[in-house]
Structure 1
Amino acid sequence: MITVVGSINMDLVVESEKNPTQGETLLGKSFSTFPGGKGANQAVAAARLGSCVNFVGNIGKDIFGKELQENLTKEGISIEHINIVKDQSTGVANIILSENDNRIIVVPGANFSLFPSDIEKVKEFLAKSAIVIVQLEILPKVC
């Protein structure tokens, strides 16, 4: 069993012909949303390779959180240890694609509400995992 302790984000992707200059408004070519977050992406990759995967992390009580939980479940990942943080939004990454480049602004939201006390609650569960993966889109003081 692999357990991932990490971030869950909704990626908000805008494609445009060029990057706007300061104060400029442009018309974009397309807009899409994709499940993301470095932690969630690691969990999905491991599950697609055939591993039994559990996830420990936080989402907000909003539509993005619900969609991301549904996506992880669809991928066969256990969401038993995902906390819903009522006063925080689910993390998002605003991604602008243009001119063969990207620019990304991450708003961590509930990802930054994962505290050592949350990890303490699942420490016996983590000890049963063959592998525990942690990455850098959560607060560094967590682990």
Structure 2
Amino acid sequence: MMAHPTLKSQPTAYPKGLFHTVRAFQLLAAMIVAGEMFYFVYQLKHGGHRVPWMFFFLHGAALFTLIALMITGFLHCRHRLPAVLNGGTNIVASALWVGGFGLLADAMKETILDACTPVWWGNDTGITICRLYKLLFAASLLGTVSTITASILDVVVY
């Protein structure tokens, strides 16, 4: 009698190259955003300033994405990753990224295109903050686009 194939032995329905590329972009964006958020929150708290609530929203998107990538990555390696489960987590992550990026873009709309020069930012510390904000903006955009792309891939695979 022939044994039934287990979930682990069944091939995944995701196209390998695209699946791993999208997840790599999600991971890169989430790590950059989470790292910057930890840095900004630490600096603001120790400087006696209020932390904008928008930071927590964006930080939540990055941390949720990192946790989701770890869990779904484990499932992908150990078992067959269900597109419904992965799609559900990516839809939640997409909503968090869209909300966080939208709030960030709204807060930065006046300065995002300005050059990081002493004329606008005063000194080396200001210039560094300007560059970090631009990196945060770019990484948040990458996180938003890559997570929406992952959601679309889940729908196609399903």
Q: Output the TM-score relative to the length of structure 2.
A: 0.30
Relative to its length, the structure with more strand (as a share) is 1
Q: Which has the higher contact order (CA 8 A, sep 6+)?
A: 2
Greater C-alpha radius of gyration: 2
